[in-house]
Amino acid sequence: MTDVSLRRRTVKPTRAAATLTYHGILIVLTALYIFPVVWAVSMSLRTNENMFHADQLIPHPITFEHYENLFGILPDFGRYVLNTLVIAVLGTVGTLASSSLAGYAMARFRFAGRNVLLLLLLLTLMVPAQATLIPQYVWFRDLGWLNTPLPIIIPLLFGSAFASFFFRQYFLTLPRELEAAASIDGAGPWRTFVQVIVPNAGPAYLALGLLTFVQLWNSFFVNSVYLTSQDSWVLTQALQSLVGRYNSQYGEIMAGVTLVSLPVIVAYLIFQRWIVRGIAMSGLAN
List binders of another protein among 42-61 (CB under 8 A): 48-49, 51-52, 54
Tell me the helices (H) and strands (E) count for the chain, helix number first. Answer: 15, 0
Residues in 174-193 at the binding interface with another protein, rule: CB under 8 A: 188-191, 193
From the number of C-beta atoms within 10 Å of its C-beta (0-12, 13-18, 19+), residue 156 rates as buried
Between 63 and 147, CB nearer to another protein: 147
Q: Is 216 in the site for another protein (CB under 8 A)?
A: no
Q: Binder to another protein among 61, 130, 175, 177 (CB under 8 A)?
A: 130
* Helix 114-124 vs helix 77-108: crossing angle, to nearest 10: 150
**Which amino acid is residue 240, in one-letter code?**
Q
Of 216, 91, 69, the closest CA to residue 150 belongs to 91
Nearest 5°: the CA angle 58, 60, 64 is 90
Between 1 and 131, CB nearer to another protein: 131
Q: Is 243 in the site for another protein (CB under 8 A)?
A: yes
Inter-CA distances, 73 with 65, 83, 217, Å: 12, 18, 21
Q: Is 200 in the site for another protein (CB under 8 A)?
A: no
Piece in contact with another protein (CB under 8 A), picked from 5-13, 60-68, 127-135, 198-206: 127-135
Piece in contact with another protein (CB under 8 A), picked from 6-14, 58-66, 196-204, 243-251: 243-251
Q: Is 212 in the site for another protein (CB under 8 A)?
A: no
Residues in 62-101 at the binding interface with another protein, rule: CB under 8 A: 72-73, 79, 82-83, 86, 90, 93-94, 97-99, 101
Q: Is 172 in the site for another protein (CB under 8 A)?
A: yes
